[in-house]
């Protein structure tokens, strides 16, 4: 915006300056020519007066010679008897002189300079006085005047550009401030608000952005309240369903119902946890995946030891910052590890590996269990898949991916790729 305003003001000012500079330069040139020709005309009239007064006086040649030696302008006389007085010896062959000898006084301005020719009628005939100005004398001082005018024009353009830059800064700075607040909102700071200042349009934009931020907070709060209320309402019928399942006399049927109810309970708990998560983590954030995996691995190590599982953790020696909040990263790791504990027998080894692969951070959670395709029907029915959906949503939400596959010779391998950010 600042650049466009500067170019617009500079272009407009250039048109105005050029519109004045060119005519002014032409006017200076014309004034210089008129000044030189006026001096030549005055000189010619003075000499013509001498010629008419001292027609046959021997002093005429000396007087005209003295005037001609001054050089500005150069003046010569062609007498009625054909004698040339002065330095211009070509007067006899000059067509303008013959024209003036016919009785016509005039001036000529061309590429050879300027000339004033005056006929003088004497007793012996018509004499011609010619006063000449060279091109340099005709345009004396024009170059300096043009340089001054052009320099003044350039100075005006510079001042206009400076004013345009300051004006553009006053217009663009409020817009940049609004953009900075928009970036803060995008990064998860829902408390950021734009300063309503600057031009009317910028104030309107700031007010609209602030209103959008307020509306976003209200919608997120309302959505979470609705989900939390719904999940709490589901707890009562689930509890009643568990009590009814325990009252079933058939042990097999009671066990299957209990498995289904546990899966339903886990789903409801996940929904409640998701609903109670702080609103600020809904938007883009950043977190250190290395420290998060380390802390969650320490948390699960106690259960792994209790179940006789060999837990292998491989972490890099530096931070891997990704575009997800720390709470989201912790939930992602917990979901992947919990799937291993929930769907593999006790004693099944578990491996957690984190490494950097180019611009990505790669998290692999693998086990040596029966694998996804070889799980028992009861395990497949009891799994809601909500945990992996939450993990996949966390990965894709920051531009990553989650892939579930089989491990050779047996087991399950889950790979999560998350784009890295500057530490």
Per-residue pLDDT of the chain (423 residues; tens, 9 = 90+): 677 777 888 888 888 888 889 999 999 999 998 998 898 888 888 888 888 877 667 777 777 777 666 666 888 888 887 888 877 777 888 888 888 888 888 888 887 888 888 898 887 788 888 888 888 888 888 999 999 999 998 998 888 888 888 887 877 888 888 889 998 888 778 888 988 887 888 889 999 999 999 998 888 888 777 766 776 677 778 788 888 888 888 888 888 888 778 777 777 776 666 666 655 444 556 889 999 999 999 999 999 999 899 999 999 989 999 988 888 888 899 989 988 888 888 889 999 999 999 899 999 999 988 776 544 434 443 444 566 887 888 888 888 999 988 877 778 899 999 999 876
Last residue of a domain, one of 231, 248, 283: 283
In a domain, 34, yes or no: yes
CB burial string 351-371: b at 16+ within 10 A, e below = bbbbeeeeebbbbbbbbbbbb
Per the structure, the complete domain to which residue 212 belongs is given by: 187-283
Three-class SS state of 52 = helix
CATH number at residue 237: 1.10.287.130
Looking at 142, 166, 201, the residue that finishes a domain is: 142
Q: Which pLDDT does position 80 carry in this prediction?
A: 80
6 and 138 belong to one structural domain: yes
For residues 115 and 192, state if they share a domain.
no
Q: How far apart are CA 19 and CA 55, in angstroms?
A: 53
Beta bridge partners of 155: none
* Residue 59 falls inside a structural domain: yes
Q: Examine the domain organization and report whether 291 and 302 are in the same domain.
A: yes
316 shares its domain with 338: yes
CATH number for the domain that contains residue 78: 3.30.450
Q: Looking at the domain assignment, is residue 43 inside a domain?
A: yes
Q: Is 369 in the same domain as 384?
A: yes
Q: How many CA atoms lie within 13 A of 51 on its CB side?
A: 32
Residue 150 lies in a domain: no
CB 234, CB 268: distance < 8 Å: yes
pLDDT at site 217: 86
Number of structural domains found in the chain = 3
Question: Does the residue 172 lie in any domain?
Answer: no
Task: Report pLDDT for 378.
Answer: 40
What is the distance between the alpha carbons of residues 306 and 312, in angstroms, rounded to a whole number?
Answer: 15
What is the pLDDT, as a whole number, of residue 379? 41
Q: Is residue 97 included in any domain, yes or no?
A: yes
Beta partners for 164? none
- Residues listed for the chain: 423
> Can you tell me the distance from the alpha carbon of 386 to that of 271, in angstroms, rounded to the nearest whole number?
9
Same domain, 300 and 274: no
The secondary structure element, H or E, covering residue 53 is helix 2-53
DSSP string, 332-343: HHHHHHHHHHHH
Residue 174 forms part of a structural domain: no
Q: Is 113 found in the same domain as 13? A: yes
Instruction: Check whether residue 255 and residue 293 sit in a common domain.
Output: no
Can you tell me the distance from the alpha carbon of 301 to that of 308, in angstroms, rounded to the nearest whole number?
10
317 burial type by CB count under 10 A (0-12 exposed, 13-18 middle, 19+ buried): exposed
Residue 20 sits in the same domain as residue 53: yes
Q: Count of CB atoms within 10 A of residue 82's CB? A: 9
Instruction: Give the Å distances, CA to CA, from 409 to 310, 333, 346.
Output: 18, 24, 19
Q: What is the pLDDT of residue 377?
A: 39
* Angle, vertex CA 287, rays to CA 283 and CA 289, nearest 5: 130
Q: Are residues 290 and 279 in the same domain?
A: no
Q: Are residue 14 and residue 133 in the same domain, yes or no? A: yes
The pTM assigned to this predicted structure is: 0.46
**What's residue 385's pLDDT?**
54
Of the candidates 292, 289, 362, 363, the one whose C-alpha atom is nearest the C-alpha of residue 321 is 289
Choose the final residue of a domain: 219, 252, 283.
Answer: 283
Task: Answer whether residue 165 is part of any domain.
Answer: no
- What stretches of 196-250 show up as alpha helix (H) in DSSP? 200-246
- Are residues 29 and 60 both part of a single domain? yes
What CATH number corresponds to the domain at position 366?
Answer: 3.30.565.10
Residue-level pLDDT at 270: 67
Output the CA torsion 55→61→67→69 (10° steps): 160
Check residue 384 and give its pLDDT.
Answer: 43
């Amino acid at each position: 915006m600042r650049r466009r305003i500067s170019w617009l003001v500079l272009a407009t000012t250039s048109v105005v300056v050029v519109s004045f500079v060119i005519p002014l330069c032409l006017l200076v040139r014309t004034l210089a020519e008129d000044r030189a020709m006026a001096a030549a005309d005055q000189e010619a009239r003075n000499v013509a007066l001498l010629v008419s007064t001292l027609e046959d006086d021997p002093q005429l040649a000396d007087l005209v010679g003295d005037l001609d030696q001054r050089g500005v302008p150069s003046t010569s006389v062609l007498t009625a008897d054909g004698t040339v007085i002065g330095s211009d010896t070509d007067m006899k062959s000059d067509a303008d002189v013959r024209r003036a000898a016919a009785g016509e006084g005039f001036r000529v301005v061309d590429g050879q300079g300027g000339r004033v020719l005056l006929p003088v009628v004497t007793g012996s005939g018509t004499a011609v006085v010619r006063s000449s100005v060279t091109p340099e004398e005709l345009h004396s001082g024009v170059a300096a005047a043009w340089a001054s005018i052009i320099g003044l024009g350039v100075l005006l353009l510079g001042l206009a550009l400076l004013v345009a830059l300051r004006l553009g800064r006053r217009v663009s700075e409020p817009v940049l401030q609004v953009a900075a607040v928009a970036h803060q909102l995008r990064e998860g700071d829902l408390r950021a608000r734009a300063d309503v200042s600057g031009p009317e349009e910028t104030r309107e934009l700031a007010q609209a952005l602030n209103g959008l931020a307020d509306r976003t907070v209200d919608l997120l709060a309302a959505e979470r309240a609705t989900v939390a209320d719904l999940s709490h309402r589901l707890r009562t019928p689930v509890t009643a369903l568990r009590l009814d399942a325990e009252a079933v006399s058939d042990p097999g049927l009671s066990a299957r119902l209990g498995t289904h109810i546990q899966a339903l309970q886990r789903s409801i708990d996940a929904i409640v946890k998701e609903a109670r998560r702080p609103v600020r983590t809904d938007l883009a954030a950043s977190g250190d995946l290395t420290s998060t995996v380390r802390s969650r691995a320490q948390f699960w190590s106690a259960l792994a030891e209790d179940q006789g599982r060999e837990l292998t953790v491989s972490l890099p020696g530096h931070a891997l910052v990704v575009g997800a909040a720390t709470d989201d990263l912790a939930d992602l790791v917990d979901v992947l590890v919990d799937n291993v504990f929930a769907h593999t027998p006790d004693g099944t080894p578990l491996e957690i590996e984190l490494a950097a692969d180019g611009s990505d951070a790669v998290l692999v959670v693998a086990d040596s269990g029966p694998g996804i395709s070889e799980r028992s029907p009861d395990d497949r029915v009891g799994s809601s898949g909500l945990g992996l959906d939450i993990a996949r949503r966390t990965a894709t939400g920051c531009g990553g991916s989650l892939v579930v596959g089989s491990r050779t010779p047996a087991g399950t391998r889950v790979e999560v790729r998350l784009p890295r950010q500057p530490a």
